[in-house]
Structures are given as structure tokens and as C-alpha cells.
Amino acid sequence: MLALGKLLELTLAGHEPAAKIQLTPEGTRLRWLAEGALEVTPPVAVDNGLDLLLSAGVHGNETAPIELLDRLLRGIARSELKPRARILFLLGNPPAIRRGERYIEQDINRLFNGRHEQHSGAEAMRACELEHLAAAFFSKPERTRLHYDLHTAIRASKIEQFALYPWHEGRVHSRRELARLNAAGIDAVLLQSKGSITFSSYTYAQLGAEAFTLELGKARAFGENQQVNLDLLEARLHGIIEGREPEQDGAGLDGLQLFAVAREIIKHSDAFRLHLPSDIENFSELPVGYLLAEDVAGTRWVVEEQGARIIFPNPKVKNGLRAGILIVPSDGAYLA
């Protein structure tokens, strides 16, 4: 196996490889770009015009997606996977990955779309570097751009594998991309309706990629992900990488649950109180009239929407950040 296929091993050890470029016997090029960043380029004769960005480890303790990317890259380095797409593998936060922690000082996934410019420290610099790596990768004209940013959640979820689909003015969510996710084992998609500061929102809004944050189960330590079944996603990624993916059409949405954002719960001060059990699961339903949260100056969030559910409740976020999202079912009327 080519040594550059051991990107995770190099990253965990904090080593920079001596050889920055290696070729498989078929002519696929592996090129080390920076810590945790490796570009795969297929031979020109088989390149199908897809640029695929696969990122994981933006939160360092989300190991199942990191292990998935490791398996894919090792398969390419052994010539077991023969790419027809250009691929950029990114391990987002190497110091946090080495320590098995979500982040060291700042949540990198709240530092994109220019937010890193308002902060200092290593993680703000890494968010800036990730933006530059993604922008350089997606700079080639007239190519298809796809980004999957792979995560696992802090808490358990009533819907274990789901996606967040970013929003940008003038763009419409793609029925074909949703069908692809459905075939990859994703059970629900949150169709966002405003801009965000996450990595997938950056590549969607600024770089024109189809981009998704994929939540793939609960965060666990390396080697403890037997309960996280990523077989369907892994098989679909094999097909995307090798250009042998079956064609999807809009009919492939059967069973996929769609949701829209009703409101974001923003923590304004240290007085913020979230009135939910600490072990509440993502996608838990909340009754109309439920007092969800309170903050300074008499600010109250009361559930008004029928069928409302909560995702990502976290009262420990820093002031000014989102402490939860209230979502409602969507009919997907505006899909293209």
C-alpha cells in the first residue's frame, strides 16, 4: 500500500510524509497538501468530471466518519478502489483528533463563512486553512462539485442518520441529491432556509458545491463504532468514487423524511436556561405551549408549531451561538 494512504496514521502521529506525491500502478496520484489533507487525482483518461470533497474530524471526537475516510483512502492506496473522480480528503481538526476531544478552544464548525476572521487561535487559523484548501480544490471550471462533511452527534437521536442541506440565495435544493442521500442510508434531511457558519454552508454558498453535513450516529472513541452502521453510505461512496453509481431520479425519495427550520434558539447570556432533559434525543417531539427556553430581559421560547421537534439542544454553547433548532415536517414543495 502507498504510504500516503495512511493519512490518518500520519495525522495521529503528527508526522509530515517525506514523499508528498505517490502514484498507484493505474496512475492515480495521491498528493499530500497539508496536515490532514490529501488530494487524489485519477488518470486523465478516466476522469469523469466530478470533484468530491470528503471531510471528517472537524470535531475531533467524531471517529466513525474518520475511520470511514481512512478505509476509503486505504482502498485507493491499495488499488482496490479505482477513482474516476478527483477527491480531497480532509481531517478537519488534527489536534482535537489526537486528543479525542470535540475541539481544543473553539468549535471549528462555527468559524466558517468569514467567522474565523473575528477570532484568534489555532482553530480559527485551521478554519481559514480548510476554506483555502476547499476553494483551491473546487477552482477548476465546468466540473461537478460535491461535498460531504461527515459528523456524529453529541447525543442519541430518534433518527440516527440525517443530513443538513445548506441554503443560499438563488439556489434550489436538489431532488436528485436527496435521492442519492436516501440510497446512502440517510433517513431524514433538514432543508435549511438561511445562511450558516458551518463548513458545508461555506462550500455550498461560496464555492457552488452541492454540500451536506451528514450526522451518522453518536460520537464514540476510535475502535468503538461497531454500533454505527455506515454500510449503505460506504457502498454509495464507493460507487461515486468509481463512477459506477446507479442513476437517481426524483422518485427515489420514498421513506426520506424532510424537515424545515421553524426557529433557532440563540443563547444571548449566561442567564440562558433550556428547559429540556439533559439526555433528550435529537428529533424528540415537543407539544404546543411547551416552554422551551428563557433568557435575559424576559426572553422566552414557547413552542407554537404543530409537530415541532428539537435537534442539537446544547445550553453550554458560548453566548451568541445556537443552543438548539426547532424543526417541523416539510413537504419538499420547493425542490428542483
Per-residue pLDDT tens digits for 219-231 = 776 776 666 789 9
Cα separation, 72 vs 75, in Å, equals 5
The mean pLDDT value of the chain amounts to: 94
pLDDT at 274: 96
As a whole-number percent, the residues of the chain with pLDDT over 70 amount to 97
What CATH number was assigned to the domain covering residues 265-329? 2.40.50.630
The answer to whether 284 and 309 are in contact (CB under 8 A) is yes
pLDDT at 33: 98
Q: pTM (2 decimals)?
A: 0.93
Cα separation, 193 vs 51, in Å, equals 25
Residue 31 binned pLDDT confidence (cut-offs 50, 70, 90): very high
Cα separation, 183 vs 233, in Å, equals 8
pLDDT at 221: 66
Pick the CATH number of 3-253 from 3.90.1150.10, 3.40.50.720, 3.20.20.80, 3.40.630.10: 3.40.630.10
Cα separation, 91 vs 94, in Å, equals 7
pLDDT at 224: 66
pLDDT at 335: 87
The answer to whether 311 and 159 are in contact (CB under 8 A) is no
Residues classed as catalytic = 215
Residue 31 CB coordination number (10 Å): 15
